[in-house]
Amino acid sequence: MRGPSRGPVPVADDVVLGEGVVIHHRELVNLYGCTIGEGTSIGPFVEIQAGVVVGARCKISSHSFLCGGVTLADEVFVGHGVMFCNDRHPRAAIDGRLRAPGDWRSEPVFVGHGASIGSGAVVLPGVTIGANAVVGAGAVVRADVAPGQRVAGVPARVLE
């Protein structure tokens, strides 16, 4: 059982928070080296890594992970448990040693204005999701999604 709260736990010093950002259960959120736009709401158990840029008035639901290189435009909805990936060839070790930051190339992900990403979706490296696009819950997005397009499935396919 958790003891009494001693007040909010601050986010890292290198985080830029816009005016009116709401971080639900701040002690359960991990933010470092990122920029969060005004009026954005961040749920508990969310990690947002260095180099991420989140636009204004976004909603990031609980248990989501935004790795370095992810950019969300304004008014993007991210459902519960959404995972963004930036490493196309993940490995723990290389040449008999643990991989260091310089041992891989991060591939950026961009999500356009007003797009929605359903709970449990996985967005793979190098993907662009266009403005007002909708990604269905549980989808695995491995290719670009055009503006306004709706995709779902594993792998994600365009819905008619």
Query: Which member of 63, 80, 89, 113 is catalytic?
Result: 89
Is 80 annotated in the active site? no
Burial of 30-67, coded b for 16+ CB within 10 Å and e otherwise, reads ebeebbbbebbebbebbebbebbbbbbbbbbbbbbbbb
Residues serving a catalytic function are: 89
